[in-house]
Amino acid sequence: MSITVRSVRSLAARAGSRPRFRPDGFVLALAGVVIVSTVIPCDGEGARVFGVLAKFAIAALFFLQGARLSRDAIINGLTHWRIHSVTASTTFVVFPAIGLGISALLPTLLPPVLWKGVLFACALPSTVQSSIALTSIAEGNVAAAVCSATLSSLVGIVLSPLLFSMMSRLHGGGIDADGIWQVILQLLVPFAVGHLARPWIGAWAGRNRSILAVTDRSSILLVVYTAFSAAVVHGVWHQVPAATLGILGCVMALLLAGGLLIARMSGHAIGLQRVDEVAVVFCGSQKSLVVGVPMASALLGGASAGPLLLPIMIYYPLQLVVCAWLARRYAIASTAKPPAARSVPPASADVASTPLPS
């Protein structure tokens, strides 16, 4: 699944220049799929067919992700160790700590199944595409954002299910080794094979990013439909009334605010320049839907994956709206400064306009 830099830039421009807001098309598509799965859920033989298709789509998605990822994107920029350390700490330490803290203080605020979904969202890695797009809009260190977000996404394929398993046990649940093995088999193995095949198909993948973006989104929508269909058949909406969804939205907003604040304060604490702070704030606060949806399906599958995905599906549009507005504020503040006060020039148009997997 890809979100073009142009669409995020447009969202930020609207947030900074006029009050009218137009929702992201993919967010609307996700909402539509949830509605369709509620009204017309697949069941029986249809559910088995969609389940097989979903697994194939997940494998294809991560195979193409691996084919598109340049090895230079992993190697270049590794010297920005302070940026990477703050990003990784925010993503894999701060968010889980906030999630566990809120759930421990207010255990009855949400049903256990939704608290489990909140912890799952906290364990997910950063996005690649939107982190880079937002950093570019805010005139931050795009090169460092590319490397930091990419490393987070790669590490998260292995670390996120392990982290979620540990948090689930602390919260009275747990994920067995079979679920983690399914994540490795369905996500990491296709990704590695795709990256090894990059010398043969990398150029083709680079030329057809717009077509592959449709494939990415379609695979996510297919997995969401399959997961929520199973959840609807097992009565998910009886467990999650509208008032509970509203409370869940408030919890996810609190998580986003906490992540943004701590990432910024951490950048200040270690003396990062403004452009580096921008990269830390956006790479550290974003959570990847493209990793979360197939990972939930691989870890749990069936009816359990639907409620597990609700928190990240709320967090995803929330992070786009809030961070697009924040990126615009950063850009305005940067423009107000004299050129000599800027530490590094903003990213080139070539970097800023390149769509990458989120």
pLDDT bracket for residue 354 (50, 70, 90) = very low
Q: Is the pLDDT of residue 11 over 70?
A: no
Measured from the Cβ of residue 335, the count of other Cβ atoms closer than 10 Å reads 9
Please tell me the CATH code under which domain 5-17+25-329 is placed: 1.20.1530.20
Give the pLDDT of residue 352: 37
pLDDT bracket for residue 21 (50, 70, 90) = very low
Give the pLDDT of residue 120: 93
Q: What is the DSSP letter of 109?
A: S
pLDDT bracket for residue 254 (50, 70, 90) = very high
Give the pLDDT of residue 206: 73
pLDDT bracket for residue 15 (50, 70, 90) = very low
Phi and psi based region of residue 20 (left: phi greater than 0; alpha: psi -120 to 50; beta: remaining):
beta
Q: Is the pLDDT of residue 291 over 80?
A: yes
Give the pLDDT of residue 351: 39
Q: Specify the 3-state DSSP secondary structure of 357.
A: strand
Q: Provide the token pair at 285.
A: 């606060």
pLDDT bracket for residue 129 (50, 70, 90) = confident
Shortest CA distance to 145 belongs to which of 347, 10, 8? 347
The widest CA-to-CA distance across the chain, in whole angstroms, is: 65
> Whole-number mean pLDDT of the chain?
78
Give the pLDDT of residue 305: 74
Shortest CA distance to 223 belongs to which of 25, 24, 29? 29
Give the pLDDT of residue 306: 75
Give the pLDDT of residue 338: 56
Give the pLDDT of residue 221: 83
**Highest averaged pLDDT of the listed ranges 11-15, 42-46, 124-128:** 124-128
Give the pLDDT of residue 19: 43
Give the pLDDT of residue 18: 47
Give the Cα separation of 142 and 145 in Å (integer).
5
CA distances from 275 to 85, 145, 164, 307, 341 (A): 16, 10, 32, 38, 11
Question: Residue for token digits 């992070």?
Answer: 319
For 11-20, 25-34, 59-68, 244-253, which range has the lowest pLDDT when averaged over its residues?
Answer: 11-20
Give the Cα separation of 320 and 10 in Å (integer).
11
For the CA atoms of the chain, what is the radius of gyration?
Answer: 19
**Which ranges in the chain belong to alpha helices (H)?**
5-17, 25-39, 45-68, 71-75, 81-89, 95-105, 112-123, 129-137, 142-170, 177-183, 189-196, 198-207, 209-233, 236-239, 242-269, 274-285, 289-299, 302-336, 349-352
Give the pLDDT of residue 53: 83
Average pLDDT over residues 163-179: 68
Give the Cα separation of 209 and 206 in Å (integer).
6
Backbone phi, psi, residue 50, to 5°: -65, -35
Q: Is the pLDDT of residue 353 over 50?
A: no
Give the pLDDT of residue 1: 41
269 close to 135: Cβ distance less than 8 angstroms: no
pLDDT bracket for residue 350 (50, 70, 90) = very low
pTM of the model: 0.77
pLDDT tens, residue by residue, 86-117: 899 999 999 999 999 999 999 999 988 899 99
Give the Cα separation of 27 and 314 in Å (integer).
10
304-308 contacts at long range (C-beta below 8 A, 24 or more positions apart): 304/113, 304/231, 305/227, 305/230, 305/231, 306/227, 306/228, 306/230, 306/231, 306/232, 306/236, 307/113, 307/114, 307/116, 307/117, 307/231, 307/236, 307/239, 307/240, 308/113, 308/116, 308/117, 308/120
219 Cβ contact partners less than 8 Å away, ≥ 6 residues apart? 1, 54, 57, 58, 60, 61, 294
Q: Provide the token pair at 327.
A: 């990126």
CA dihedral 331, 337, 341, 347 (to 10 degrees): 30
Measured from the Cβ of residue 16, the count of other Cβ atoms closer than 10 Å reads 16
Give the pLDDT of residue 204: 83
Give the Cα separation of 206 and 65 in Å (integer).
11
Average pLDDT over residues 289-304: 76
pLDDT bracket for residue 190 (50, 70, 90) = confident
Q: Is the pLDDT of residue 326 over 80?
A: yes
